[in-house]
Chains A and B, each alone.
Chain A
Amino acid sequence: MLRYLSRILVFFAVLGIAVPVLAESPAWRVGMTPAFLHDQHIVLDDWRAYLEKKLGHKVEFVQRDSYRETMDLLRLGKLEFAWICDYPYVHLKDQVKLLAVPVNQGKPLYRSYLIVSARDPHTQSLAQLRDKVFAYADPYSNTGYLVPRYQLHQMGEDPEKFFSRTFFTWSHRKAIEAVASGVAQGAMVDSFVWDTLAKVRPELTVRTRIAARSPEYGFPPFIAHRTVGDADFKTMQDGLIGMGQNAEGVALLRRLNLDGFTSGDPAIYRGIKEMMKALGE
């Protein structure tokens, strides 16, 4: 009994020593958003372990289901890095620095797919969805919210009245589900998410059909909070861009359905600014 007690005491003593050691180097908090398939938990675990090994620094992924929440965390200084949509990036431009841009099908670009139910063979454009139920991904999503509203605006329609009903699903994946299940007759979604899902969950995407494709936009970027020091910025940037240079990184990239990362050019996000301006934001 005494021996047992002493063992417990030793255990607590070790804990007491260990806690300050952990506190000395706080983890880098990386915000993860539905800009990609953020619910592939196993891939995320492996990616985090990979980054910790390569960066020599603790990494913590902070997942939120809406861009809004991640943006709030950034504003509050509770995240060092984040993978956010291009629209929030433009929003937060003053508070964040462009860290890296994922390369998707050879380019740091993606587009918006107008998707309808696979059982709807007629719809070819957004204009045909008048008075239908439409699913938006997230109010801070470029492809899932800004693009359709902008397109309607260009057509001279009032986005607020064009559809009979709209609702937010808070992620591209769920927007695809909404169309697949028939709750919504249409949605515009991130082409990268749709393409990735077509690989990992084809049974979901086959129930939808891409009716139209938008022009290309800058891919949702990795950003660093402006308070992040240059050394840490460089370490993280090199860590991401370097993923394409080792087998483990390449394997992870394949699971993430990405070609790699580039340092990126803020100019690729100019289109968003124009759309925002057109919609009066």
Chain B
Amino acid sequence: MKSLFNLSFRIKIPLWGSLLILVTAGLVGLTLMFRAYDDLRQDVLISADSLGRTLSNTLFPAMLHDDVWRAFEIINAPFHGATPENPVQANALILLDNQDRVYVSTLPETYPTLADFRRFGPRYAELTEKLKAIKGETTRSFEIEGSDQIFVAAPVADGEKRLGTLLILYSKTVSVPRFRATALRASGIALLVLVVLLPINWYWGRRMAVPLVQLSSRMGKIRLRIPDALDPDAYAYQDELGQMFAAFAEMVEELRENERMKNEMVQSQRLAAVGSLAAGIAHEVNNPLCGMLTAVDTLKQRPDIDPRVMKTIGMLERGLIQISDTVRALLVEARARSHPLAPGDIEDVHTLLQPQAQKKSLNLEWRNALLSEAALPATDVRQILINLLLNAIQAAPEGGHVACGIVLEDRELVISIANDGRPLTDEQMAHLFEPFATTKETGHGLGLWVTYQIVQQLGGSIAAESAPGTVRFAVRLPLERLS
């Protein structure tokens, strides 16, 4: 039973609805049928009463003249052209004389003429006594225990003179065909109602259940991942269900926002940790490195150096310089003491990169909206621009498109650089600004690291968007960072 209640709403709602409809239809049908049965019984008694009165009047002269055949023709008349389906059709008519013998009956083989009516059964004698009590022109109905007949009795009398009694026998079961017909009709109507109501119920049930089922399946996955939003047209109404769906949609949206912020936080913390580690190592390496380079330089000044030793010293020096370069690259420092950024600085970068773009026959779209000096260190901004534009030119395909836009917006310099190269993978996006995280075969993977470090030091932000057809880097730098 419990499993029935555990069923999905998709089945349960239409099922319960159908059950209710069926029960209602059944009850209405049953009521109609009982009503019909009652009416039928009433009909039988009314019909018997009128038949009894009519026949007993015409039977009186026939009995008075002792005309058995005429009496038979009279009581047999109701059976002429009678159909067995007629529910108020009598089973038999029996005419009794004053000695309680059968005068004549319509079932002569069961109730033959002259047979003693009291002999037909133990209850018949009892009935015979009751028949005598009927006075005047009234009819009365009797039921005998153990018999499936209703006996309607009408005295055959004229005034005080009584010649006998007419008994009309109705079968209690004779109404079964009509009852069955009524039942059939009632079921037909019920079926018709069901045919109309069940699909409506089914549709309504699904309309309710499908969004609920969708909601429940999304909710079930909430621990594993942020669920997808619901279909917007699944349930577009403002009732409790609709409100629930709206609340769910809001919740999903908030969860996503949280997730996004958490990811950003983790990334910036990681970058900060990597940055301080790199800076720490660089500082530690830099001090002995300076000493070593000075020592190598001093050693080189010595005139008595063996040429082979000299060669080794050269190798040492080159290696040390390479380490020094790398360390310097890691130790990014914004040069705050640079001159303020002027539109000309940006145009210089444009001019500088033209040849590279032409080499790949790129369409370099340049929109510089900076019209006057901005309170930003020109060297750092140029460094950022060059780094990002070089990356974009390299990432764009042959004959591709690179766009650079620079605007002042709400006391921020917004730099937007886009290319139509291959989109970045999620993996690449996650480690984009880490050192040595290159996406190219050539390059040391420090370009974006450096850019990120400069942007951080200028108090700005850098974000990457990757979509098919467009990879865009956006840098926002607040003004007045220039001391």
Contact = CB atoms under 8 A, between A and B. Distances in A.
A94 B106 CA distance: 44
B397 interface: no
Contact of A133 (B66, B107, B113): B113
25 contacts: A133-B112, A133-B113, A133-B114, A164-B114, A165-B68, A165-B113, A165-B114, A167-B66, A167-B69, A168-B67, A168-B69, A169-B69, A170-B69, A174-B73, A178-B72, A181-B76, A181-B106, A181-B108, A182-B108, A182-B109, A182-B112, A183-B72, A183-B108, A183-B113, A184-B113
Interface string A89-121: 000000000000000000000000000000100
Interface string B71-90: 01100100000000000000
Interface of B: 66-69, 72-73, 76, 104, 106-109, 112-114
A129 B279 CA distance: 142
Contacts of B107: 182
Nearest to A136: B69
Nearest to A185: B112
B100 to A, nearest CB: 16
A181 B104 CA distance: 11
A135 B104 CA distance: 13
Q: Which 10 pairs across A and B sit closest by C-beta, in order of nearness?
A: A182-B108, A167-B68, A169-B69, A183-B108, A182-B109, A133-B113, A183-B72, A167-B69, A165-B114, A164-B114
Contacts of B67: 167-168
Contacts of B73: 174
Contacts of A174: 69, 73
Contacts of A119: 109
Given A133-B113, A182-B108, 19 more contacts: A133-B112, A133-B114, A135-B69, A164-B114, A165-B114, A167-B68, A167-B69, A168-B69, A169-B69, A174-B73, A181-B72, A181-B106, A181-B108, A182-B112, A183-B72, A183-B104, A183-B108, A183-B113, A184-B113
Contacts of B106: 181
A133 B112 CA distance: 9
A165 B66 CA distance: 11
Contacts, number: 36
A181 B66 CA distance: 19
A183 B69 CA distance: 8
Interface in A23-76: none
B348 to A, nearest CB: 126
Contacts of A167: 66-69
A170 B67 CA distance: 10
Interface in A150-183: 164-165, 167-170, 174, 178, 181-183
A182 B73 CA distance: 13
Which of A119, A169, A174, A182 has the most C-beta atoms of chain B within 10 angstroms of its own C-beta? A182
A133 to B, nearest CB: 5
Give the most central of A135, A167, A183: most B CB within 10 Å.
A183
Nearest to A170: B69
Contacts of B109: 119, 182
A170 B73 CA distance: 12
A170 B107 CA distance: 21
Nearest to B79: A181
Nearest to A168: B69
Contacts of B114: 133, 164-165
A115 to B, nearest CB: 15
B101 to A, nearest CB: 10
Contacts of A178: 69, 72
Q: Which of B67, B104, B107 has the most chain A CB within a 10 Å cutoff? A: B104
A147 B370 CA distance: 147
A167 B69 CA distance: 7
Contacts of B112: 133, 182
A178 to B, nearest CB: 6
Contacts of A183: 68-69, 72, 104, 108, 113
A183 to B, nearest CB: 5
Contacts of B66: 167
Nearest to B66: A167
Interface string A167-205: 111100010001001111000000000000000000000
A164 B102 CA distance: 13
A169 B113 CA distance: 15
A34 to B, nearest CB: 13
A170 to B, nearest CB: 7
A164 B69 CA distance: 15
A181 B73 CA distance: 11
A139 to B, nearest CB: 13
Nearest to A117: B109
Residue among B66, B69, B108, B114 with the highest chain A CB neighbour number at 10 A: B69
Contacts of A170: 69
Interface string A192-229: 00000000000000000000000000000000000000
